[in-house]
């Protein structure tokens, strides 16, 4: 007996957005056909194994495997996946090119595959771009390729939407299940309404607290950049003020940003000063929209400054270290944390990479790092630029300066005594404002971003 599903969705691309959406949809009785060209990944997904770590994902996949394995399947053939479903979501990566502009090649090849499928299909089909793409891509690249390859008309034979996602790593499942808004960019009303109905079915009552915004394709594409660029700007803004704070004794950036963030028009999130932002999205997206606007004849001064301030934080933390410990050449320097944020082993654009490069530029060669989760990935990224330790004790042993780069809970528990016990000279620079300033400043040789010593 064939079961009739209310919705059958193909997810083309099995990264964070793709697989987390796939698993969340399948849990709600939606038939999902994911597709990837990576055989190993497809097999893992079909065996119910998450191919990467994301909080809650494996548990969700276990549950699906146990109760309804037929609801989540992964194919190597995207054309078949499209043909057997009614909605297709493009969730491919849009990496940064060497020249920092956006690489749309995966989007292009997926659009071609959808076109091939739609050539063979008579029924109306909805195509939704979920990847982050520069304005114009959904209409002029995706829509055009599908039209050219399939011979079908957008708006008549197939629908076209752009729906940005806003999930942060470590929160992907939570963010997918409880978004604060759903943005639907639509080629025409029919496309947008079909996607809205799908989400009304999927989210049910959650939509009482979650507005659905409908707009054209290009506006929706720009919303995503608006989001990531403003978050990056908030961080660089806090770092700019951290540098102001360091011009005056006893001014503390943490208190300053708390005061600023309590304004109801601002909010205190992403005002954390430190060694700077990293991750797979902020650099990529800020650079992509900057390069895009430049190609259209407008040079962004604001985003240039956001990136410059961020890069300078890595240089600044090394300046603080040398102010504190003197010239570090020939001395052992320890890095506490390497991942771009706690809770992940992701090293993409991590601040640790910029700090290591700056240390090496200054002739400092004896660098050792320790991360509770990211040592392995860091070894791929940093090669033999640094040594790796298996524990806090080991990384601090014989060290003359420690730099706190990632605010893992494991590091939060450390007291001044721990640093004194293990280090040759207990110099510590807090790059994330993790430690109690008064206590650490009294008991150690200490510096922190956004505050200078009490005189
Ligand atoms: C981000 C966005 O939050 C998400 O909406 C988007 O879809 C993808 O990019 P993510 O890269 O997973 O998510 O991490 P996020 O938690 O946003 O942190 C990014 C970086 O900013 C980290 O390196 C973090 O350490 C840094 N950060 C964050 C600060 O330096 N200060 C802050 O106050 C907040």
**Tell me, what's the pLDDT at 67?**
94
The DSSP H or E segment spanning 240 is helix 217-245
For residue range 286-325, list pLDDT tens digits in order: 999 999 999 999 999 999 999 999 999 999 999 999 999 9
**Tell me, what's the pLDDT at 46?**
97
For residue range 259-268, list pLDDT tens digits in order: 999 999 999 9
Q: Is the CB of 431 under 6 A from ligand 1?
A: no
Q: Distance between CA atoms of 347 and 68, rounded to whole angstroms?
A: 35
Parallel, antiparallel, or unpaired for β 87-90 and 125-129? parallel
CATH of 246-448, one of 3.90.920.10, 3.40.50.720, 3.50.30.30, 3.30.460.10: 3.40.50.720
Quick one: CATH architecture of 8-210?
3-Layer(aba) Sandwich (3.40)
CA dihedral angle for residue 379, residue 312, residue 270, residue 178, rounded to 10 degrees: -40
Going by alpha carbons, the residue nearest to atom 10 of ligand 1 is: 168
Q: Is the CB of 51 under 6 A from ligand 1?
A: no
Q: Is the CB of 346 under 6 A from ligand 1?
A: no
Q: Is the CB of 341 under 6 A from ligand 1?
A: yes
* Residue 373 Cα to ligand 1 middle (Å): 18
Going by alpha carbons, the residue nearest to atom 24 of ligand 1 is: 277
Do 310 and 277 touch, CB atoms closer than 8 A?
A: yes
Going by alpha carbons, the residue nearest to atom 11 of ligand 1 is: 279
* Residue 228 Cα to ligand 1 middle (Å): 9
Q: Distance between CA atoms of 349 and 288, rounded to whole angstroms?
A: 15
Tell me the CA distances in angstroms from 75 to 14, 20, 71, 192, one per residue in order. Answer: 11, 16, 13, 27
Q: Is the CB of 202 under 6 A from ligand 1?
A: no
- In testing the pocket of ligand 1, which one of 269, 282, 343 has its CB within 8 Å of the most ligand atoms? 282
Which H, E and C letters describe 112-179, residue by residue? HHHHHHHHCCCCCEEEEECCCCCCCHHHHHHHHHHHHHHCCCECCCEEEEECCCCCCCCCHHHHHHCC
Going by alpha carbons, the residue nearest to atom 27 of ligand 1 is: 277
| Closest atom, ligand 1, to C-alpha of 171 | 12
**Tell me, what's the pLDDT at 68?**
94
| Closest atom, ligand 1, to C-alpha of 340 | 23
Find the catalytic residue in 20, 161, 281, 401.
281
Residues of the chain with CATH 3.40.50.720: 8-210, 246-448
- In testing the pocket of ligand 1, which one of 164, 281, 310 has its CB within 8 Å of the most ligand atoms? 281
Q: Is the CB of 279 under 6 A from ligand 1?
A: yes
Q: Is the CB of 337 under 6 A from ligand 1?
A: no
pLDDT tens, N- to C-terminus, the chain (455 residues): 567 889 999 999 999 899 999 999 999 999 999 999 999 999 999 999 999 889 899 999 999 999 999 999 999 999 999 999 999 999 999 999 999 999 999 999 999 999 999 999 999 999 999 999 999 999 999 999 999 999 999 999 999 999 999 999 999 999 999 999 999 999 999 999 999 999 999 999 999 999 999 999 999 999 999 999 999 999 999 999 999 999 999 999 999 999 999 999 999 999 999 999 999 999 999 999 999 999 999 999 999 999 999 999 999 999 999 999 999 999 999 999 999 999 999 999 999 999 999 999 999 999 999 999 999 999 999 999 999 999 999 999 999 999 999 999 999 999 999 999 999 999 999 999 999 999 999 999 999 999 997 65
Q: Distance between CA atoms of 2 and 10, rounded to whole angstroms?
A: 18
* Residue 206 Cα to ligand 1 middle (Å): 25
Average pLDDT, the chain: 97
**Tell me, what's the pLDDT at 3?**
75
For residue range 356-405, list pLDDT tens digits in order: 999 999 999 999 999 999 999 999 999 999 999 999 999 999 999 999 99
Per the annotation, the verdict on 281 as an active-site residue is yes
Going by alpha carbons, the residue nearest to atom 20 of ligand 1 is: 277
Going by alpha carbons, the residue nearest to atom 15 of ligand 1 is: 168
Going by alpha carbons, the residue nearest to atom 26 of ligand 1 is: 277
Q: Is the CB of 340 under 6 A from ligand 1?
A: yes
Residues ≥6 apart with Cβ < 8 Å to 308:
none
Q: Which phi and psi (to 5°) does residue 73 adopt?
A: -125, 150
- In testing the pocket of ligand 1, which one of 241, 279, 309, 344 has its CB within 8 Å of the most ligand atoms? 279
* Residue 43 Cα to ligand 1 middle (Å): 31
């Amino acid at each position: 007996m064939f079961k009739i599903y209310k919705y059958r969705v193909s997810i083309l691309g099995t990264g964070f957005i793709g697989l987390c959406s796939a698993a969340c949809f399948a849990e709600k009785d939606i038939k999902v056909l994911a597709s990837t060209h990576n055989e190993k990944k497809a097999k893992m997904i079909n065996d119910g194994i998450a191919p990467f770590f994301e909080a809650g994902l494996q548990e969700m996949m276990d549950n699906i495997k146990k109760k309804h394995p037929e609801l989540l399947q992964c194919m190597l053939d995207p054309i078949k996946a499209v043909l057997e479903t009614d909605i297709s979501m493009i969730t491919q990566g849009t990496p940064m090119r060497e020249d920092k502009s956006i690489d749309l090649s995966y989007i292009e090849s997926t659009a071609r595959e959808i076109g091939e499928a739609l050539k063979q299909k008579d029924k109306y089909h909805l195509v939704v771009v979920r990847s982050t793409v520069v304005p114009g891509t959904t209409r002029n690249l995706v829509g055009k390729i599908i039209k050219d390859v399939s011979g079908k008309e957008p708006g008549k034979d197939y629908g076209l939407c752009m729906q940005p996602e806003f999930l942060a790593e470590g929160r992907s499942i939570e963010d997918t299940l409880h978004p604060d808004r759903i943005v639907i960019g639509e080629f025409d009303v029919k496309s947008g309404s079909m996607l809205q109905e799908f989400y009304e079915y999927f989210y049910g009552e959650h939509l009482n607290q979650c507005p659905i915004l409908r707009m054209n394709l290009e506006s929706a594409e720009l919303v995503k950049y608006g989001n990531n660029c403003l978050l990056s700007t908030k961080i660089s803004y806090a770092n700019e003020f951290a540098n102001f704070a360091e011009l005056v004794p006893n001014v503390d950036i943490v208190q300053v940003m708390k005061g600023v963030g309590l304004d109801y028009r601002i909010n205190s999130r992403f005002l954390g000063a430190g060694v700077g932002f990293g991750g797979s999205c902020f650099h990529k997206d800020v650079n992509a929209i900057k390069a895009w606007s430049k190609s259209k004849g407008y040079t962004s001064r604001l985003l240039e400054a956001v990136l410059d301030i961020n890069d300078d934080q890595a240089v600044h933390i090394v300046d603080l270290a040398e102010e504190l410990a003197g010239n570090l050449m020939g001395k052992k320097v320890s890095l506490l944390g390497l991942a771009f944020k706690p809770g992940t082993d992701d090293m993409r654009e991590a601040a640790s990479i910029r700090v290591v490069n700056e240390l090496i530029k200054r002739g400092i060669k004896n660098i050792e790092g320790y991360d509770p989760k990211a040592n392995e990935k860091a070894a791929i990224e940093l090669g033999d630029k640094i040594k790796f330790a298996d524990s806090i004790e080991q990384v601090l042993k014989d060290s003359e300066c420690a730099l706190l780069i990632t605010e893992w809970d494991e590091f939060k528990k450390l007291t001044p005594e721990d640093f004194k016990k293990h280090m040759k000279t207990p110099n510590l620079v807090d790059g994330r404002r993790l430690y109690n300033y008064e206590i650490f400043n009294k008991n150690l040789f200490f510096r922190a971003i956004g505050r200078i010593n009490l005189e």
